[in-house]
Amino acid sequence: MNVKSKQNDGFKNVLPYIVLMLVIVVVLFTLNMQGMKVNKLSTGELISELKENNVSEITVTPKSDESVFYIEGRLEGYKSSEKFTAKAVGTEMENILSLINKNAVKKYDTNADPGGSVFIYVLINVLPLVLIVIAMYFLFSKLANSNKNSMDFGRSKARLSNDNDKKSFKDVAGLNEEKQEVEELIDFLKNPKKFEKLGARIPKGVLLVGPPGTGKTLLAKAIAGEANVPFFFISGSDFVELFVGVGASRVRDMFKEAKRNAPCLIFIDEIDAVGRQRGTGLGGGHDEREQTLNQLLTEMDGFGENEGIIIIAATNRPDVLDPALLRPGRFDRQVTVSLPDANERESILKVHAKNKILGKDVNLKNLSLRTPGFSGADLENLLNEAALLAVRRNKSSVSMDEIDEATDRVLMGPAKTSRKISDKEKKLVSIHEAGHAVIGLKLEDAQEVHKITIIPRGMAGGYTMMLPKEEKIAVLTKNELLAQITGLLGGRVSEEMFLKEISTGASDDLKRATRIARSMVTEYGMSELGPVQYEEKSEGVFLGRDYNSKSKNFSDQVALEIDQQTRKIIEDCYDKAKKIIKDNEKLIMQLSDALMEYETITKEQIESIVKTGKIKLVEEIEDDSEEAPSKSKKEKKQEGK
């Protein structure tokens, strides 16, 4: 049905042009006929021309209802656009026919009576008029449709979700606390009288705040699905147009439509596109966006407390929103949708792994522990990339090899296996990455080393994957920050000590180390300057705000002290890295040799090098993992005895 409707729509779109072409052909034909020069001859003049043998072409057309003959033709010397016409009756026609036969006119023809053919009569007289009428009809209908569309310019672009797109809390893995926060919204939409009885006011608006990809849109759909109410969804950018006032008109129309379908739920995605603070920026405000925001604020105040309309908005930039939008009575509840922890990541992986064939070696729980900081969208992309790699390799299932490769692709980009690397560059990268790894292995508060590779990916010649030993929410201690800086400087120190030269490969490490050290001094109060915050994060949302925030909040003397303290932290960590790497020179060389030979070594292989000085092959690691369960069973039997 959809294919046929699309074909019909295509035919309807092309038909006006076909009709217009036919009209143009008819008009051109008529003009061409009008451009023909016609000379009218009397019967006597025609007979004289025939006697003088001046007629080169003649056509006779009889009229059935009268004894009249219409004659047309050409005389010698006529141009191609010139002809003569004449009319003869009875005996006159007999004389003309005898002269035609006598002088043997070059081209002589006789036509049937056009009045006897209804088709020819319609074709000549009626069809041009019909085509003109049809063309005018289509042109006027197109004009009417364009006027109708122009009248719909201010209509809301909010779309009503269909039943096939319904979601429930079963489709939302993790987010347990967030679900509890919105449970009463669902209860209100199902049974509003229970709240009215106790005089409770349900929030008019709920703001979902969190990093990109954490499931804010999915959670809003699940709320509507659980409450089984109409779900209108729109993006904040759909309100803003070139012409001032259009966005405000769309806001009015959206709320008008929502009141007709109450109880219902309106979801505004990326509300920061329309809800930014008013009057900001060097160039002043944005009239269209500000009028749209004013109308949104007015409409939210306009409907009653328990009319059954709840607005849910999502953003990852709550700091740029207008304060009037966040006051009680509008978006008076904020729900933070944070990145998932290990248990939630395992649940998310199970949801996205339902339609994929995973190998026996894939353990989703272990994978969740190896992906801290991944959002739900990142995890979905990870499994999808792994499935694409399995298809590319013609495998029947997704194994851990594809998932490891997909993890590297998501974090760093595809491996540049075809790139030729000289032995000198390869040795430099292996020494550099071994320096990072040794700091992670020997420093107490450093992160745990999971993988080292010297295969180039993205802009990096190699990398060391280091993950936290214990997953934390957002709090880091001073020792942990210093350990991060020391680990970042380990690569540069290793180059300097063992190759007697330094490279540009540490540029990103130095940038990150300097950023952490300066934040420790200016934001976290972790220096000799004391617990004072000299700077705060500013991401330059508006040019005006960013411009004003550049003014100094401290004197030049304090600025010098900040630079000195930052340098002191870096130098102390650099000295600590030197000492650790010098004490573990043998381990550096063992890791470097293993990287030169195998290019990539895993956590188990790194532990083997640390303990025995030798690297375990992948087959040996798999054999050990298979033997481990049998040993544990024997130990259990012995314990039971």
Task: Say if CB 293 and CB 278 are below 8 A apart.
Answer: yes
φ/ψ of 214, rounded to 5, equals -90, -5
User: Residue 566: pLDDT above 90?
Assistant: yes
Instruction: Specify which of 94-103, 172-181, 523-532 reaches the highest per-range mean pLDDT.
Output: 523-532
| Residues contacting 537, CB < 8 A, separation 6+ | 523
Q: What is the pLDDT of residue 3?
A: 46
Q: What is the pLDDT of residue 305?
A: 57
Instruction: Specify which of 189-193, 570-574, 585-589, 604-608 reaches the highest per-range mean pLDDT.
Output: 570-574
| Residues contacting 423, CB < 8 A, separation 6+ | none
**Which candidate in 344, 402, 433, 495 is catalytic?**
433
User: Residue 409: pLDDT above 90?
Assistant: no
User: Residue 510: pLDDT above 70?
Assistant: yes
What count of Cα atoms within 13 Å lies in the side-chain half-sphere of residue 235? Answer: 5
User: Residue 626: pLDDT above 60?
Assistant: no
- In this prediction, residues 191-214 reach a mean pLDDT of 81
Whether 380 is catalytic is no
What would the pLDDT profile of 518-536 be if each residue is shown by its tens digit?
999 998 999 998 898 888 7
In a 3-state reduction of DSSP, which class is residue 358?
strand
What would the pLDDT profile of 220-245 be if each residue is shown by its tens digit?
888 888 888 888 888 777 776 656 66
Q: Does residue 197 or residue 386 have the better pLDDT?
A: 386
- In this prediction, residues 114-140 reach a mean pLDDT of 66
Name the DSSP class of 235.
Answer: E
φ/ψ of 232, rounded to 5, equals -95, 130
The confidence band for 361, taking pLDDT boundaries of 50, 70 and 90, is confident
| Residues contacting 368, CB < 8 A, separation 6+ | 342, 343, 345, 346, 349
Name the DSSP class of 126.
Answer: I
Whole-prediction pTM value? 0.66
Q: What is the pLDDT of residue 569?
A: 95
Nearest to 254 by CA among 276, 232, 269: 232
What would the pLDDT profile of 544-563 be if each residue is shown by its tens digit?
444 444 445 788 888 899 99
φ/ψ of 474, rounded to 5, equals -155, 5
Q: Does residue 293 or residue 33 have the better pLDDT?
A: 293
Tell me how far apart the alpha carbons of residues 488 and 465 are, in angstroms, rounded to a whole number: 12
Q: Does residue 485 or residue 126 have the better pLDDT?
A: 485
The confidence band for 438, taking pLDDT boundaries of 50, 70 and 90, is very high
